[in-house]
Chains A and B, each alone.
Chain A
Amino acid sequence: AQSVAQPEDQVNVAEGNPLTVKCTYSVSGNPYLFWYVQYPNRGLQFLLKYITGDNLVKGSYGFEAEFNKSQTSFHLKKPSALVSDSALYFCAVRDGRDDKIIFGKGTRLHILP
């Protein structure tokens, strides 16, 4: 069965510092991995995806994520955090054979000014 784990409920980072939001996954087939962001009272906004190829993928708003097959991880990163990055971040996985996306429980990112 597919699953996604986001071990941190909340991550606090000072503005200007690098940030990392952790994600590990389990899937039986080839994983398609995604990060989504949710701002208050808003829908899910796509940030980036990994399908195949380069393990470091770049996405919107300066975010990037590193796929590590041996550790089954897909951590979200950004070199320099902004206060406006404060939001709820969801890691998600899709087994290439399925339609559904499985989401992690989310990590609240709080950037301190």
Chain B
Amino acid sequence: EPEVTQTPSHQVTQMGQEVILRCVPISNHLYFYWYRQILGQKVEFLVSFYNNEISEKSEIFDDQFSVERPDGSNFTLKIRSTKLEDSAMYFCASSGTGITKEQYFGPGTRLTVT
């Protein structure tokens, strides 16, 4: 069964550094998403991406964040200058074009900012 994959599984970085989190969505999906889950809190939507542009973003997704689909398979989330409060589990998801656009989630990348 096809699945969303994410790398790395755990990333440790120092405050102020740039990080890139990578995702490989399910191959025939056209919608891509990033969510985050701060430890002990609920899963929060960050951004959705379709047709090479952002289709929706939350207030969390400020200028420090960017997304890109650099080739036909990868979908990346970049944080330009990490803050301590960016420490969280980041989930990538993808969906097809059906009416439900059911989202399939990857296993997540745990980002620790020190």
Chain A residues engaging chain B, CB cutoff 8 angstroms: 32, 34, 36, 42-46, 49, 51, 90, 92, 94, 96, 98-106
Contact = CB atoms under 8 A, between A and B. Distances in A.
23 contacts: A43-B106, A43-B108, A44-B43, A44-B91, A45-B105, A46-B105, A51-B99, A51-B100, A90-B42, A98-B56, A99-B31, A99-B50, A99-B55, A99-B56, A100-B33, A100-B56, A100-B58, A101-B103, A103-B42, A103-B43, A103-B44, A105-B42, A106-B42
- Category for how many chain B residues contact A: 20 to 34
Contacts of B48: 99-100
Interface string B16-40: 0000000000000001010100000
Given A100-B56, A100-B58, A44 B105 contact: yes
B105 A36 contact: yes
A105 B41 contact: yes
B42 A46 contact: no
Contacts of B56: 98-100
B102 interface: yes
Nearest to B56: A99
Given A43-B106, A43-B107, A44-B91, A100 B99 contact: no
A45 to B, nearest CB: 8
A88 to B, nearest CB: 10
Interface string B29-72: 00101010000011111001010000110100000000000000
Contact of A104 (B42, B107, B108): B42
Contacts of A103: 42-44
Contacts of A102: 45
